Structure 1
Amino acid sequence: MRAITEAHEVGRASVDALAEAINRLGLAEGVVAVDERGPKRDLLAALAEKFPKARFVPASGLLRNIRAVKMPDEIERITEALRITENGLRAAFAAFSEGVSEKDVQNAFERAVTAEGGRTGFCLVRFGKGLALGQVPASPDIKLGANDFAFFDVGIKYRGYRSDIGRLVSFGEPSDELRFLFDASRSGQQTAIDMMRPGVVAKDVFEAAVQAVRDAGIPSYKRQHVGHGIGIEYYDLPVLTPNARTVLEPGMVFEVETPYYRLGVGGSFIEDTVVVTEAGPSIITTLSRDLTVL
């Protein structure tokens, strides 16, 4: 059984294009695994009509598990997407000035990404206390004030692969509370990263990361996950959850994050891309992981 198609690509590749690939691979009478998810719900039936001697098997779970370990060229594409994203964030930081809006900053990010051939997948920008509101669109009415801070959770698409990165930026000297929350959050993230070696079980990474944030001064800290795979989807497998028994392998690529949200205050956020290698974790993000002060 040979997997040749992913349903999330069907929006760009017609059934005719998939049929051409099946013919080219000599699978017109073979067994073909297909990711059945996506907008074209009759994909399997349409392929079966074109190839009555072939058998098409729904295999989204199988394909997602195969994709959990990346090939070197896939890691290269993820890295390329990440570099464009980092440049977009630098452009967003450069747009900071008193009175600029969340939407203005988002626009600066998206223009920079587009200029390098990327396409924004999501761009969450929140100022100050709005960080605790989560995934709310950037507003043209919320303005940056002196000694304010901003949260970024952004991702793009480039050459079929995704990026995802999170940062906390202070506009002026940060408060002691903001530094404390950031340090606690990053403590958990760094603990998770340090553990990400071949043979380690995903749930153990989760437990250690959450406990590290609690030990750093936020005893009530809770999370559903502290990281997820990335590749041709923003949420590839594996995911670092309390019940995940996946054993980490070289070639797995994760977005590692330990955000914290507190109503009335804001919170903290940091997210980085990590590749599991034979020698241990490799952080491929190059943007500073410190609390950025502008």
Structure 2
Amino acid sequence: MSGRIERLQARFDQLKIDAFLVSSEGNLHYLTGMADMAGDGYLLVLAKSVYLITDARYQTAFAAQFDKDHLIITRDYLGAVCDVIADQQTGVLGFEDDLPYTAYSFLDENLVSDLVAIPNVVEQIRMVKSADEIDQLRATAKLADAGFEYITSIVRPGMREIDVSNLLDAFMRTHGASGPSFTTIVLGGARAALPHGTASQALLTAGQLVTLDFGYFLNGYTSDMTRTFALGQPNQKLAAAYETVKMAQQAVIDQVKPGALSADLDGVGRRLITEAGYGDAFNHGMGHGIGLEIHEGPLISTRGDETLVSNSVVTVEPGVYFPGLGGMRIEDDVLVTETGHERLTTATRDLLIL
């Protein structure tokens, strides 16, 4: 983890800060190696030292990583932050812009240094994955492919959406996943027009399109994959729209490379969908980054202003939705390589008719 902290420290001069306070779940996980720490303390990074301020539940876990002077065990987390800043005579403390107001108010009242909110500091570092992180993301994508293959081998009319979700969950956990990174989406028929609906007691019936959107953590890193398939011969309007979505997704993936602008990528797929007459039926962004969390930078949307960088992983997920009839979405995880891209989730995107 020391290399990651050094990358953060190397940005201090550019950001005009002398220290940075880390409090969010994903960033604490990235910099300490410990998941689920949000609310249980802070990582205080100074230019040449690092303090983990937490309580006794984590003392043993971090004893080898931090010496006794830099592992501060207390329940007064923010008071300890103020004490370290005063002792080290630190000038400007940067903090994440989603710090709760109560915490900010305490620091503003008690801190001797200046305070400045800086968005996406650690998040920008996290966008560039190490070789080990890429290996983990490849593995979790491979597991997602296996999960989709399993579901399409057993799903049939008469099953409930929630049955499919539970069977997928059991398969993924049995094969190494620690759990889902979001509530699994299984939607059949007209319910598939809900981009973020969740599995219900509704029965799947013959002739329906079914959308399956899921992500699972494997060794801390998550996949995010969507496929739509048919239970028997589908409605012709939906089948035609599906081919447009598949074409648009591939057109975007073809443009994934270092230097590509996120808004431009969104525009490539959105234009194709609009030209086919489905523009009003595509009502969300084109994709986002993934890693330790299900939503990371960059955001690929009409309002995206980021540039893709090599060794990052993004999703590409166009969809079309017709209220009262149904919908479809296709989503893959894509690695940005030095010269282009690599699709990590490789399950077929042809419309399976089961």
TM-score normalised according to structure 1 size: 0.85
Deviation of 1:88 (Å): 2.1
- The reply on whether 1:229 has 2:289 as its aligned counterpart is yes
- Preserved contact between residue 334 and residue 342 of structure 2 (Cα < 8 Å): yes
- The reply on whether 1:106 has 2:130 as its aligned counterpart is no
Give the match's secondary structure for 1:90: helix
Q: Matched residues in 1 for 2:350 and 2:79: separation?
A: 51
Q: Deviations over 1:95-151 (max 9, x none)?
A: 3122111111111100101101211222100111111133233122x1122222211
Equivalent residue for 2:339, pick from 265, 279, 294: 279
- The reply on whether 1:83 has 2:83 as its aligned counterpart is no
Deviation of 1:47 (Å): 5.2
- The reply on whether 1:139 has 2:139 as its aligned counterpart is no
- The reply on whether 1:12 has 2:29 as its aligned counterpart is no
- Preserved contact between residue 288 and residue 314 of structure 2 (Cα < 8 Å): yes
Partner of 2:314: 254
Q: Deviations over 1:146-168 (max 9, x none)?
A: 22221111111121111100000
Equivalent residue for 2:245, pick from 185, 196, 200: 185
- Cα 1:233/1:12, change in 2 over 3 Å: closer
1:1-294 correspondence to structure 2 within 5 Å:
2=6, 3=8, 7-8=24-25, 9=29, 12-13=36-37, 15-16=54-55, 17=58, 21=62, 24=65, 45=78, 48=81, 51=84, 53=87, 57-59=94-96, 61-118=120-177, 119-121=179-181, 122-140=183-201, 142-294=202-354
Deviation of 1:11 (Å): 6.4
Deviation of 1:86 (Å): 2.2
Partner of 1:38: none
Identity across matched positions, percent? 25
Give the match's secondary structure for 1:167: strand
Q: Deviations over 1:152-208 (max 9, x none)?
A: 111111211111000001011233222211111122211111111122211111111
Deviation of 1:18 (Å): 7.8
Give the match's secondary structure for 2:127: coil
Give the match's secondary structure for 2:184: strand
Q: Matched residues in 1 for 2:83 and 2:153: separation?
A: 53
Question: Which protein has greater RCO, CA pairs closer than 8 Å, 6+ apart?
Answer: 1
Note the aligned Cα RMSD (angstroms): 2.9
Give the match's secondary structure for 1:168: strand
* Letter paired with 1:218: Y
Q: Matched residues in 2 for 1:189 and 1:126: separation?
A: 20
- Preserved contact between residue 221 and residue 260 of structure 1 (Cα < 8 Å): yes
- Cα 1:128/1:43, change in 2 over 3 Å: farther
- Preserved contact between residue 154 and residue 166 of structure 1 (Cα < 8 Å): yes
Deviation of 1:223 (Å): 3.9
Q: Deviations over 1:218-248 (max 9, x none)?
A: 2435444201000011110001122323222
Q: Matched residues in 2 for 1:202 and 1:12: separation?
A: 30
* Letter paired with 1:48: V
TM-score normalised according to structure 2 size: 0.71
Q: Matched residues in 2 for 1:260 and 1:67: separation?
A: 31
* Letter paired with 2:163: D
Give the match's secondary structure for 1:244: coil
- Preserved contact between residue 184 and residue 217 of structure 1 (Cα < 8 Å): no
Q: Which runs of 5+ in 1 are unaligned?
A: 30-41
Q: Matched residues in 2 for 1:131 and 1:247: separation?
A: 32
